[in-house]
């Protein structure tokens, strides 16, 4: 094959399919044998619009194959997870083991690219690792960092059309990587060095996290000040140079709530705002759970009986089925931990069933419950008719959309 793609997850598999669509031979590698056999059967193990067709075609036409071990190629892409170990310490061991797996296969003029979100300096670190084990290759490889920036749910479009930032360990590497991506990307390709490209990815997601933290902080202030935060933000955004994001029940997903820690852990003294934003966004989820608790007690005091409660939405953002790192799920768990013989209805219209939560249809839950807690602004919920006899806790601005 021309290309070896290590890691066939949410980014690796769509990218592999895209390269294969271009009639380039791609060999995908994943440590999970089930993932490998699924892909070789022309099927997919993740949910992403249009990915199924792309993989099925690529496999059928013979441009995409997968296995659990890498093979020799000219270009190697590392697209594996970079999770956290202990307390907010980035863990690059998957990047390291993926790199080690291909070291014996490397030959002069090969192109090595990391796409995984990584702490600053990771590409240089991997370069040193490779050259220490294969000194005869010293300076003979092209190495670059090129982060992905696609939005889950719109990956197949954004992969092709988003601009990319491409940073080599030297200018020749940057140019080689640009030539590679130019084959299948329509967005602009921007040249830089590896360290800047690494930081760029972290900064993009930290920027969004800080902006959401600002909105979440406003929501806490407005709650005390008896002001509708959604109206307030809408009005403030009428200013030509103000663009405040939306408060919610916290920040979730695998990127925005994680990437800022890559900066904070390496530059703790300097990253005051970035670190604080994470705290504010985490606190927002805790605050929401506490609000539910208070509403329960108030209801019981007023009505002399326990309320029934509907928790509306579990996904990490509107109109997706992804529950990983979801603040709504965290709030639901916390609320259920505090349960005291109340009746609960848990709602997530984007999934059929869940192994922990017993799910209820959203209309039924809404009609039956005394307290309605809107956690995620799913489109379905906007069709509900608000009635005055219910206590409504709106943590995601859905009321504005229902009105
Ligand atoms: N959120 C708010 N208020 C807002 C916007 C979002 O509370 O105004 C919350 C969402 O509900 C969700 C979280 O933020 O819990 C993150 O959602 P998101 O839609 O902002 O982003 P992700 O995590 O789906 O994807 C992000 C994107 N990054 C940026 O927009 C800078 C995407 O382009 C990246 O490729 C992706 O992270 C990634 O893989 O890094």
pLDDT tens string 165-205: 999 999 999 999 999 999 999 999 999 999 999 999 999 99
Residue 394: its pLDDT value, please?
Answer: 97
Is residue 42 predicted with pLDDT exceeding 80? yes
For ligand 1, pick from 151, 187, 401 the residue to mutate: most ligand atoms within 8 Å of CB. 151
316 pocket-lining for ligand 1 (C-beta < 6 Å): yes
Per the prediction, the chain carries an average pLDDT of 96
Transcribe 264-298 into DSSP letters: HHHSTTT-HHHHHHHHHHHHHHHHHHHHHHHHHHH
**Ligand 1 center to 151 CA (angstroms):** 8
User: Could you tell which of 157, 203, 253 is best to mutate to test the pocket of ligand 1, judged by most ligand atoms within 8 Å of the CB?
Assistant: 253
Over residues 112-120, mean pLDDT: 97
* SS3 state of residue 21: helix
The confidence band for 315, taking pLDDT boundaries of 50, 70 and 90, is very high
Helix (H, G, I), strand (E, B) or coil at 281: helix
- Those residues with Cβ within 8 angstroms of residue 271's Cβ, 6 or more apart along the chain or in another chain: 260, 263, 264
pLDDT of the residue at 88: 73
What is the CATH number assigned to the segment(s) 3-194? 3.40.50.720
- What does the pLDDT average to over 267-279? 97
Question: What is the pLDDT at residue 51?
Answer: 96
| pTM for this model (two decimals) | 0.93
User: How does strand 164-168 pair with strand 142-145?
Assistant: antiparallel
User: Per-domain residue ranges for the chain?
Assistant: 3-194, 229-402
Q: How far is CA 188 from its chain centroid?
A: 23
pLDDT of residue 16: 98
pLDDT band of 321, cuts 50, 70, 90: confident
Q: How far is the CA of 256 from the centre of ligand 1 (A)?
A: 6
* Residue with CA at minimum distance from ligand 1 atom 10: 317
Cα torsion through 255, 201, 24, 189, rounded to 10 = 140
Average pLDDT over residues 92-108: 98
Question: Same topology for domains 3-194 and 229-402, yes or no?
Answer: yes
Percentage of the chain beyond pLDDT 70 is: 100
Taking 80 as the threshold, does the pLDDT of residue 86 lie above it? no
* Dist. CA 393–CA 353, nearest whole Å: 24
CB 255 near ligand 1, within 6 Å: yes
Model pLDDT, residue 46: 87
Structure confidence at residue 376 (pLDDT): 97
CATH number listed for the domain at residues 229-402: 3.40.50.720
Rounded-to-integer distance, Cα 165 and Cα 144, Å? 10
How many Å apart are CA 296 and CA 227, to the nearest integer? 22
pLDDT digits (tens, 9 = 90+) for 239-260: 999 999 999 999 998 899 999 9
Q: What share of the chain in percent tops pLDDT 90?
A: 92
Distance from residue 313's CA to the centre of ligand 1 (Å)? 17
Predicted local distance difference test score (pLDDT) of residue 266:
95
Q: How far from the centroid of its chain's Cα atoms is residue 84's Cα? A: 14
Interface ipTM: 0.95
Tens digit of pLDDT for each residue in 366-379? 999 999 999 999 99
Which tens digit of pLDDT belongs to each residue from 123-165? 999 999 999 999 999 999 999 999 999 998 899 999 999 999 9
């Amino acid at each position: 094959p021309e290309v070896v793609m290590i890691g066939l997850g949410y980014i690796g598999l769509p990218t592999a399919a895209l390269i294969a669509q271009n009639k380039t031979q791609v060999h995908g590698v994943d440590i999970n044998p089930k993932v490998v056999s699924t892909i070789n059967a022309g099927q997919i193990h993740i949910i992403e619009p249009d990915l199924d067709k792309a993989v099925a075609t690529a496999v059928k036409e013979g441009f995409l194959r997968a296995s659990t071990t890498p093979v020799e190629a000219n270009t190697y892409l590392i697209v594996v997870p970079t999770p956290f170990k202990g307390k907010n310490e980035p863990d690059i061991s998957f990047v390291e083991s993926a790199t080690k797996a291909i070291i014996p296969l490397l030959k002069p003029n090969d192109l090595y690219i990391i796409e995984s979100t990584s702490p600053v300096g990771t590409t240089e670190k991997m370069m040193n690792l490779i050259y220490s084990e294969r000194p005869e290759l010293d300076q003979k490889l092209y190495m670059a960092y090129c982060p992905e920036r696609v939005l889950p749910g719109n990956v197949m479009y954004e992969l092709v059309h988003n601009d990319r930032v491409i940073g080599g360990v030297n200018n020749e590497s940057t140019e080689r990587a640009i030539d590679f991506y130019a084959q299948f990307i329509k967005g602009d390709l921007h040249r830089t060095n590896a360290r800047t490209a690494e930081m760029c990815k972290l900064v993009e997601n930290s920027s969004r996290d800080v902006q959401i933290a600002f909105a979440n902080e406003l929501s806490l202030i407005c709650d005390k000040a008896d002001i509708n935060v959604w109206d307030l933000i809408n009005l403030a955004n009428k200013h030509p140079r103000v663009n405040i994001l939306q408060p919610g029940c916290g920040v979730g997903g695998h990127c925005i709530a994680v990437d800022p820690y890559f900066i904070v852990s390496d530059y703790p003294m300097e990253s005051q705002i970035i670190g604080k934003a994470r705290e504010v966004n985490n606190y927002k989820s805790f605050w929401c759970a506490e609000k539910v608790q208070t509403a329960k007690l108030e209801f019981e005091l007023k009505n002399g009986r326990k309320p029934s409660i509907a928790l509306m939405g579990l996904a990490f953002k509107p109109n997706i089925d992804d529950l990983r790192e979801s603040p709504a799920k965290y709030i639901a768990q916390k609320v259920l931990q505090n349960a005291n013989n109340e009746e609960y209805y848990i709602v997530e219209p984007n999934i059929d069933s869940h192994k922990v939560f017993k799910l209820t249809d959203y209309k039924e839950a809404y009609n039956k419950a005394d307290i309605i807690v809107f956690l995620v602004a799913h489109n379905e919920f906007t069709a509900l008719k608000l009635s005055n006899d219910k206590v409504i806790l709106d943590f995601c601005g859905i009321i504005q959309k229902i009105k």
